[in-house]
Every structure is written in structure tokens, then in C-alpha cells.
Chain A
Amino acid sequence: MIRKNIKYYALAALVIITVAVALCLRLWGGTETTYETSFFAMDTYMSVKGTGTDAQGAVEAVRDAIIGLDGDLSVTNSKSLVYELNENGSCTADSDMEYLIDKSLYAGELTDGAFNICIYPIMREWGFTTGEFKVPEASVLSALCSNLASSEVTSNTQDKSVHLSEGTMIDFGGIAKGYATKVAVDILNGKYIKSALINLGGNVYALGKKPDGSLWNVAVKSPDDSMKYLGILSISDKAVITSGGYERYFEEGGVTYHHIIDPSTGYPADSGAKSVTVVSSDPTLADALSTAIFVMGRDKATTLWRENSSLFDFIYYDNSGNLYITEGIKDEFSSEISFEIIEK
């Protein structure tokens, strides 16, 4: 019976092999897919969307890395390296910390101290690190500020050791999301993702172009009306990071205190800025600069930009409702509100 039907079995085998080969070819063919995931980390909602042959693998790797970073960079996590550094005044840096300290010191230098990771004791005094807000005594703040002025972070590139001067404590909170974005971009690039949108709680990075080849459209939220935008940026391979006093604040005695503290006074920055957005290909720097420019105000920011216009551009919206953008993004930016272009 079997001998008689051998050609039918052969036929069956042939057909099955053909289908199997077709299936394999389809899987190997590497169709591009888009995968998006949302998660909660660093006290905010994050979403990552990528398109590529292994979009899911890449996007999930990003998610895992950012959730890992959240623990590693937390000043309140007793197992983190930052905690160890703040407790002991010294530690041996890992690659994350090495990069972060390097960038922080660079940003501090660039902004003449408007960005300072050593501001942690002042932030803690205001309760911005815990949510138990209070207005500190002026004498306490002035003491902390004079200590901050003499704070020093020294890192040794040879043995990777980091030392803090007496009474100094640091917090990477001001650039953690920017750094997380950088890590995400590195992972996505390493997994050959050519198109992705990273949105870490409003800190946006547009990687490559949209799958259809057009630029990503990133709107900048208006601080006056959460349903409106200051404008739309059409960009590629750029981080868009916004700082505004409206993000986190509390009221006491009829006064609103927001979370962007001016390191020179110890009080919430009062430079006239309402919302500052920095556009840069370096997300870590963009994160630091958006805070710093909010503290510095428009005039100092303009000087800083004129000296470093290849590094970044910014969008500045002040308390009187005036909108300014730097020349480098004039072709990328569109808005229904009139705006002034800051030229070189």
C-alpha cells in the first residue's frame, strides 16, 4: 500500500517543503514593523515607538534600560551609586555616572553655574524631592547657597573615582531624562532602528524620519493653555526638551513656588521665563540647558547661544507672552502666534 502510494507521499512532502521554504523566506525577508510601548518611570509616563526589522526587541530593550536607569540614578534608592556617593562623599563611577558627571560639569561651566547638580540639598529643603513642600528659612537657604558656591565635584578619569567636597550632595534629576533619552537613542541605533519617537514625559527625541520619510512634528505645549501649542517643530534626529515652572509647583501664603531653583539665590528662578524649550542633537545637554536657560533669562541665554549656536537652539516664551526662537530653527518652527527670531 505504502509502496503504491509513494509518489503521493513524495508529493505531499514536496508541497509541505515548498510551504515551509516560503514561510522561512517570509520571516527572513525582514518586514519592517512599528512597535510602541508605554511605561512609567522617573515619576512620569514614557512612550517609545520605533520602526525596524526588530522594532519590538529594540523598543523593549529601551524600556528595560530606562527602568534600570531610574533605579540607578535615584538619590533616594539606598542601593544606587548616587546614594553611596552622597553618603560617603566618594565612590567609583560606573559608565553612566562618568558620562553624567562629565556632562553636568560641562553644562555647569557653559551656563556659568545656572545648571548645577549640587543643588540637591536646596531642592530637598524645599521639599521638591519628596513632595512635602515648604518654604525654607532665608537663613537656611543663604547658608546652603554659600555652601553650594564652594561645592566641588572632582572626578578622576584614571581610576574612575569621584569625590565630593564637604557637605556637597548631587542629584542627576535635572538631566536624568535627557540621559535616558541618549541611552535610548544609542540602543535604537545599535538595533538598526532608523525611525523612532521617544517621549519621556514630554522630553521628546525624534530619531530619523517618520516611516513615510517625512519629518517628525513635535508640538511645544503652551504654558497658558494645555490644549494649545506655542508652535510645531518639524525635525529629525533632534531632542526637544522643555522646562517650565508650571510643571511642578506649590502655593503657600498666596505665592506660587515652582521647582526650577536658581542656584545663585536658592529661590525659584525669576528671570521672566515662562517656558523654555531647547532643541539639540544632544539630549543630555538639552535637558541641562533648558533648566539653565529658564534660570538665566533671555539676555544671558542669547549670549550663550551666540557662542554655542552649533550645539543647540532654543524657544523662549516669557511671562508677558512674547515668543522668541533662535535663528537655527527658523525653518523648522511654525506657529500661529507671532514670534521674534534671535539672530547671531
Chain B
Amino acid sequence: MSSHQKSASRLLKNDIVLLAILVVVALILFPIVSHSKKPGAYALVELDGDEYATLSLDTDTTLTVTTDQGTNTIVVHNHEVSVESANCPDLICVNHAPISLTGEVIVCLPHKLVITIKSDNPAKESEGSIDAIAE
């Protein structure tokens, strides 16, 4: 342990170099992965990697996604998508600011749910707002 104290200044210098490298890498990555800021047309809801529903941003809808993992209630309001409520442990999806621009994402990791804003029109609309079919 005493070696730590003896060469403290050298170690601190290494720390600072490491810090600088990490920050620079992060800053370089920012423009590469960031999305275009165009308003989207619909929200794609994916569950466990598979398409689950598409929600048009033009109509206000509420979609409750229930799986064996849990429930997320997705709300489209004023062309913005947000997760209104969920029973996941971290509630990050619920605390996420509403999304509306192409490429923006809300993720609920515990429930394997990804909501992505897409630009072109979906084939089906409002399908997701139906809870049951009487037949």
C-alpha cells in the first residue's frame, strides 16, 4: 500500500491521462451516433426484438403492453410519445422525457421494450388502441 503514496503524483498523472482519453472518446462518439432532428411520423414498439405495435403520432392513443415481464402504458399525446406508467423496477421509461423526433428512443430494459420514433408512415394505424375484440 505504501507504494501508492510514494508514487502518488505519477499515478495521478496516469489518472488524468486516462480521464482525458475517455472523455475525448465519448465526445467523438456523440455526433456519430446522434440522430437527425426531424419530426417523426409514428412510434415503433418492439418487444424482445420483435415488432409489437406501431402508433401514429397524429392520433392520441394509449397502449398498454403487458407481458410476463410486466406492464408499460405508452401514451401518444400532441405528437409526442411517453411511457405514462409501468411496473418495471427502475421506472426509467416513465421518467424519460416525451420523444417525437426521428430516431429518439425510450427503452424499458427490464421489460425488453423499445419505443423508436420512425419517419415514414406505418401500414397499420390505431390497431394498438384496441384492447379486445368481441366476436
Contacts and interface: CB of A to CB of B under 8 A. Distances in A.
Direct A–B contact present (CB less than 8 angstroms): yes
Interface stretch (B29-37, B42-50, B67-75, B102-110): B67-75
Given A211-B73, A212-B73, A212-B75, A219 B64 contact: no
A204 interface: yes
Contacts of A214: 62
A216 B87 contact: no
Contact count band on B: 10 to 19
Contact of A202 (B62, B64, B131, B135): B135
A203 B84 CA distance: 29
B134 A219 contact: yes
Contacts of B132: 197, 199, 204, 206, 216-219, 240
Contacts of B75: 212
Contacts of B135: 202, 220-221, 242, 244, 247
Contacts of A204: 132-134
B133 A210 contact: no
Contact of B87 (A31, A210, A233): A31
Contacts of B134: 202-204, 218-221, 233, 240-242, 277
B133 A218 contact: yes
* Consensus secondary structure, chain A interface: strand
A34 B111 CA distance: 13
A271 B8 CA distance: 95
B131 A33 contact: no
B87 A217 contact: no
Contacts of A105: none
A34 B71 contact: yes
A112 interface: no
Contact of A32 (B62, B73, B87, B129): B87
Contacts of A259: none
Contacts of A33: 70-71, 87
B85 A211 contact: yes
Interface string A242-267: 10100100000000000000000000
Interface string A192-233: 000001010011101000111010111111000000010011
B87 A34 contact: yes
B84 A212 contact: yes
Nearest to A275: B135
Contacts of A217: 129-132
Interface string B55-99: 000000010101000110101000000001101000000000000
Residue of B70, B73, B132, B134 with most chain A CB atoms under a 10 A cut-off: B134
A269 B13 CA distance: 91
A206 B131 contact: yes
A326 to B, nearest CB: 16
A242 B84 CA distance: 32
A211 B131 contact: no
A49 interface: yes
Interface in A26-68: 31-34, 36, 49, 51
B62 A219 contact: no
Contacts of B85: 211-212
B64 A212 contact: yes
Q: Please provide the 8 A-B residue pairs with the shortest distance between their CB atoms, ordered closest to farther.
A: A202-B135, A221-B135, A34-B71, A240-B134, A212-B73, A204-B132, A242-B134, A219-B130
10 contacts: A206-B132, A210-B73, A211-B71, A212-B62, A217-B129, A217-B130, A219-B132, A220-B133, A220-B134, A240-B134
